[in-house]
Homo-oligomer: A and B are copies of this chain.
Amino acid sequence: MENETTKQRILAEAVKLFASEGYEAVTVDQIAKAVGIKAPSLYKHYKNKRAIFDSILRFMEQRDGEQAAACSLPEGTAEDMPEAYAQSSTENLITFSKQQFRYWTEDAFASSFRKMLTVEQYRSGEMNSLYHQYLGAGPLNYVADLLESQEEALLFYGPMYLLYSVYDEAEDKAAVHALLDAHLERWRR
């Protein structure tokens, strides 16, 4: 059997590199160096460079499923399960949004994955679709369904979406989390 730990470390280092330089710009040698092995050794764990990228997508998909299950949030669209959506209160939305923001900023893999999607979003229809599903129109439409207003959803999620960007360059990360919390508290009424 292959060394599972090395396989996972390859994934972790690769997503960091893909996030900052983009898939094409990263060489397999860079990934290998980050892991601490030689490039040809990577091929014992992954068929090729593309397979590493694909594994990152599948790993995130799996993590997202677990995350959604842990929050006991309904998966799928509002059309699929209107009852479950109707039960979600604004209170739950605020709690969920805080969790989501912390997840996409503080979880090392999720943070790198978010940046990777950002820099890969225009490369293909698949990446564009994933970017919007996880970070763009996906969350926005989810909020719009809950608040029953596109305009309110923009006011709720727009600042949150902007704060991801502010967070990435902020020295004082806690201050950005405080800004988010203050923003979200506006909806508690």
**Interface residue ranges, A against B (CB under 8 Å):** 19-25, 115, 118-123, 128, 132, 136-137, 140, 150-151, 154-155, 157-163, 165-166, 168-169, 179, 182-183
Please pick, from B122, B154, B179, the residue contacting A119 in the complex, using a CB distance under 8 A: B122
What is the CA–CA distance of A154 and B120 in the complex, to the nearest angstrom? 26
20 A-B residue pairs with Cβ-Cβ distance under 8 Å, sorted by A, are: A20-B123, A21-B24, A21-B123, A22-B22, A24-B25, A115-B122, A118-B121, A119-B119, A119-B122, A122-B168, A128-B169, A132-B165, A132-B169, A136-B162, A136-B165, A136-B166, A155-B158, A158-B160, A158-B161, A161-B162
Please pick, from B121, B122, B128, B140, the residue contacting A162 in the complex, using a CB distance under 8 A: B140
Task: Please state the number of chain copies in the assembly.
Answer: 2
Which residue of B has the minimal Cβ distance to A22?
B22
